[in-house]
Copies of this chain bind each other. A is one copy, B any other.
Amino acid sequence: MYLNIFKIGGNIVDDPKRLDVFLDTFSHCREKKILVHGGGTLASELCRQLGIPVEMNQGRRITGPITLRVAVMVYAGWINKNLVASLLARGCRAMGLSGADAGCILADKRKPEPLDYGYVGDLGKESVNVHYIQSILENGLVPVFSPITCDHAGQLLNTNADTIASALAVAFRGFYMVRLRYVFDREGVCCPGSEKPLSLLSRAQYEKLRDQGTISDGMIPKVENALCALEQGVGEVFIGNTCIRL
């Protein structure tokens, strides 16, 4: 049996039209499914309105205590509950979850050395509580995960949504045929000079394109996450409509 894990990020969450199209497609998928969502600009906007300075460390954002509060409010609160309510209105029995709920994804706070990223969670091999999430799926419900987890001491942690999606895919690979799809604002991985996305991208091709600088920036961790999930036994991984292969 298939389990479809869809991950959407800010470029979908922030765009009401794209989000509507996505939610229609998602709610029509008749197989088992999980939605993992990222942030969007609302958290940064709220930080700005509240006068919280953006703390960066070597180009990466630090999650201090107030930024954590904003992240939990926006991701686990506003975005998550709106997605759930919108899916419910489409007849899809969505169930909003953070990793804290029923302890279904427990993380460890990232070590402060060599760089202290603050309240950021990293996932390990035992992070995903497969048993509990499976009972939700088997009840015909659709888990909708916000990128918030917690540790064993009850500390909430901001966690990368792509990583949550791939950790779920890996955790469920022995139970279902897992299809992991990173949905974003383009149709897939494109090569320069071509509007049409690649239908297939192998690891060898990816390494070549990356070394040429054709695949760069944010697409690199996405493809590497995808390859990593495939290496760990996930059946199919798509970035947009581009199928990633080892």
Contacts and interface: CB of A to CB of B under 8 A. Distances in A.
Interface of A: 49-50, 69, 72-78, 80-82, 84-90, 93-96, 98, 100-103, 132, 135, 139, 141, 148, 150, 152-156
A81 to B, nearest CB: 5
Contact of A72 (B81, B88, B152, B153): B81
Nearest to A104: B95
B156 A82 contact: yes
30 contacts: A49-B49, A49-B50, A69-B78, A72-B77, A72-B78, A73-B77, A73-B78, A75-B77, A76-B76, A76-B77, A76-B80, A81-B100, A81-B101, A81-B148, A81-B156, A85-B100, A85-B150, A85-B154, A85-B155, A85-B156, A87-B154, A88-B103, A88-B150, A88-B152, A89-B153, A94-B101, A95-B101, A95-B102, A96-B98, A96-B101
Contacts of A153: 89
A155 B77 CA distance: 14
Given A77-B77, A81-B150, A82-B156, 16 more contacts: A49-B50, A50-B50, A72-B81, A73-B73, A73-B74, A74-B77, A76-B76, A81-B98, A81-B100, A84-B98, A89-B152, A89-B153, A94-B101, A94-B102, A96-B98, A135-B139
Nearest to A23: B154
Which 5 residue pairs across A and B have the least CB separation, nearest first?
A77-B77, A89-B154, A73-B73, A73-B77, A85-B154
Nearest to A139: B135
A98 B88 CA distance: 13
Given A77-B74, A77-B76, A94-B102, A154 B50 contact: no
A235 to B, nearest CB: 27
A152 B93 CA distance: 12
Number of copies: 2
Contacts of A102: 93-95, 141
A94 B74 CA distance: 21
Contacts of A75: 77
A15 B85 CA distance: 31
Nearest to A88: B103
A159 B169 CA distance: 36
